[in-house]
Amino acid sequence: MSDCCDCYTSKFDDARAADDLARYHREGPNDTTRRLLDVLRAEGVEGATLLDIGGGVGVVQHELLGGGVREAVAVDASRAYLSVARREAEQRGTAQRSTFLLGDFVALAPEIAPADVVTLDRVICCYGDMESLVAASASRARRLYGFVVLRDTWWVRAREAFDNLARRLRGVAFRSYVHSLDAIDAAVRRQGLRPRYSARTLVWEIAVYER
């Protein structure tokens, strides 16, 4: 998600969506997504509803619909990614249990019903107004709230600053953000959720909260 959907359209285009889907078919979920999925499955998703925000080609959605989730709503600001996710759901036979919404989740949130499980896999770090995104998404989690986000360390900040500079020089509007993990945690807790699981890699933080 972004403050403008055009930022996502330019970065997450048809070519990148096709590449990501091919990689998913070839390798399955990446390491951090797999960890997030493992925790959610361990907590129990049988018969649950899912709200997957900024899910790209729909990896979390596809995996959990195949693992017991009853129905899923996918929200993404990239038309290309949403189209790929929809086609994949059709091929997997889960399209009738899936709803696809195009746009900025924060803007759409008032029209979106709560779900048992809410996920944001590498999404919070793509949104400048972290407080609004977390408040809107966490408030819709009836039971579990899981995310993967960039760690707030000097080496991650340095890498993202370099990448953002390169994007600006190329005329790319998209920016990434390294938000304070303490601030994210506080924003989630304000919505009545408490930590259930956390883990980290060199670059990423994986976290699951429960209501």
Answer whether residue 137 shows pLDDT above 50: yes
Q: What tens digit of pLDDT does each residue of 116-135 get? A: 999 999 999 999 999 999 99
Q: Tell me what pLDDT residue 158 has.
A: 97
C-alpha dist (Å) from residue 52 to 156, 160, 165, 166, 185: 25, 24, 30, 29, 19
Answer whether residue 51 shows pLDDT above 70: yes
Domain count, the chain: 1
Percent of the chain with pLDDT over 70: 95
Q: Tell me what pLDDT residue 7 has.
A: 54
Give the CATH number of the domain where residue 173 resides.
3.40.50.150
The domain in which residue 54 lies consists of 5-210
Task: Give the mean model confidence (pLDDT) for residues 45-55.
Answer: 97
